[in-house]
Structure 1
Amino acid sequence: MRPTAETEDLLRLHAPQVLGALVRRYGHFSAAEDAVQEALLAAAGQWPSAGVPDNPRGWLIKVASRRLTDALRSEEARRAREERAVALTAALATGPDRAPREDDTLSLLFLCCHPDLTPPAQIALTLRAVGGLTTAEIARAYLVPEATMAQRISRAKQKVRGVRFGRPENWAQRLPAVLHTLYLIFNEGYTATSGAGLQRRDLAGEAIRLTRTVHRLLPDDGEVAGLLALMLLTDARRDARSGPHGELIPLDEQDRDRWDKAAIEEGVALVTRALSRGPAGPYALRAAIAAVHDEAPSARATDWREILGLYEVLVRRVPGPVERLNRAVALAMVDGPEAGLAELALLEPGLGHRLDAVRGHLLERAGAYDRARTAYESAAAATLSLPEQRYLRERAARLRP
């Protein structure tokens, strides 16, 4: 019998907590993950007919711990590890249905975002261990062969093997790496960097779900709240971003009636509370900018002076090329396209197609149509996203004499 959608959601919710419980108590990431996967398969086969147990998380922990113990007992050459597994089972037996500590998911995120891992490895391991995605799903999302992604995840597991599980002593310093990983996952889901689709809703949704979890564990952290607000305020426009044939619709042309009002209200409330707690961090500032866009009744009514002021603060905090590029757009909306173009001239060319795309837009507004067409064509040639390519080429075609 196939598991119901409700059962699948339940398993996806509890999987990282169960894995966290086993890794925290035993410390062997790969073996624990294998045991959890077997427990999930057992639940998917039994629960639709037998019913969901009163404590599904405890049930999964008990089954996974038994599978882990059985696997280790078969390795006679590793008797010391077997003794640890027996101890694990005994510990669990004292409270077999006890839920793991609340911070296991956060601890698991810290493990997946270990500083020894590269950002791609952090993302892959996070999606695999915490998000519950299969290796094939992650490979499809990032358009790489499944074997390549499997190797990436395997190498990541080897690097964190032996790392003590739990919230690290310097967890406050490590938290930005966790948030940055979640932000990268969301960005790839909201605007896919390559492929035929404009967005990958599963990735964006997973990033929001994981960030909600972190916010639930750290409700007073302004940057966690800011990141969740930013995701919600941005994702609220999702349905209006593309037309019936998948074509890209820019922000100023979107039908705002299709924006998710509930997500906007939640995001605004989150960022308002975050800003009231003290100096705003980069994610809270980005969320505040998104809130100004989302609360404007129309593109014409957008308060670009407020947005420019927020970007001024953001660029002082994070003087990165993307932030400076976005500030140039806001400046152009306030002081005219020439002011924005002057700012673009100061930027390094390491922004890929986005720099040429913005340059084309500002040149078009300034009436320099030939140069704008060249910029659009250059941007179209540089992006791997097919919807963006089509949009940029259409903009260029409109400017042909």
Structure 2
Amino acid sequence: MLPSWRWFGPDDPVTLADARQAGAVGIVSALHEIPAGAVWPVEAIRARRRQIEEGPGDAPLRWVVVESVPVHEAIKTGGPDRDRYIDNYRQTLRNLAACGPRIVCYNFMPVLDWTRTDLAFPLPTGALALRFDRVALAAFDLFILRRPGAARDYDEPLRQAARDHFEALTGAGRERLARTILAGLPGGHAAYDLEAFRAALAAYREVGERELRANLAYFLRAVADVAEEVGVHLAIHPDDPPYPLLGLPRVVSTEADLAAVLQAADTTANGLTFCTGSLGVRPENDLPGMVHRFGRRIHFVHLRNIRREPGGSFHESEHLAGAVDMYAVVRALVEEERRRVRDGTPGVPLPMRPDHGHRLLDDLRKPASPGYPAIGRLRGLAELRGLEHGIGGGAREPTA
């Protein structure tokens, strides 16, 4: 696989030089300054590519994946402006194909992108991890957001646990919980305050699971033809966490969901970002089997591990230690790459990045985007490259 690294642009405290020294060859980046729904201008794409690929040093980097081109909320809700925003998305794909990378990661999660309740969960080693606590989320939903009808989504034991959690929080603790959920995480949507968030939720009052699935299929049928025409591979990211939150449906969480996404537009241009951390939260998801069954449509890989906790909570563990059998997943990915080589299928090497990382060592004293410190990801990338070499998939020199 192609060792890659997410970079949030010139303001990212983890630099391109850091990525190069960590062993990355590919860079995963986006134009986060452009609002969702707007067309990405050709010159802006070219400027970002120059920043990545024309830097100093003898170890060149390549912009290999766009993560992400956000899908406007009007497309997800099926609102009256969705066709205009879809036309803009199609033009952005054309502009990327003209001057940028050919893999586009995106997601279809309503309102919130990936969600955590704790950005500094202490581990026994002293490192800090990201955590999602279902009780804390329920406490926010019931007693801070006070979403109408929220009580129906939680059974009595969970409601009581949420009340106890809320009452144990200080005023600062309640503010921190709300800020963690609403402030937006790297690569996600802009921050909300409570009133703006309530308004965003209201837009989904008539959008349930069936409607969201239909809106996703509508979007895919509208953009996949352009992607196929210009040689771009779309790669949808699974829901994170992979179940409904705050009354919002989520429809990219299980193997059946992924199959439906691929069937909605049956072309290689419509594919997957295979995220082991997101999919691994649900124990029924057979990750190595999914690689074998969907391998031809996997365009991008996030390798991350989690430890499941009771009731749907989880925290992010070391890359090789957790609920995900990382050896089996990487072996399946190596086998998929070998199949592509045998069949002459494009897409080798497959871009892979270590997804998230613990804050440890000097990262504990330096600024970094949540989930994206330098040393924690360096460790993850080194472990994953070593695992791939041990399996026998990393003997060649990776190239972009």
TM-score normalised over the length of structure 2:
0.29
Give the structure, 1 or 2, with the largest relative contact order (CA under 8 Å, sep 6 or more). 2
Higher helix share: 1
Higher strand share: 2
Structure (1 or 2) with the larger CA radius of gyration:
1
TM-score normalised over the length of structure 1:
0.29
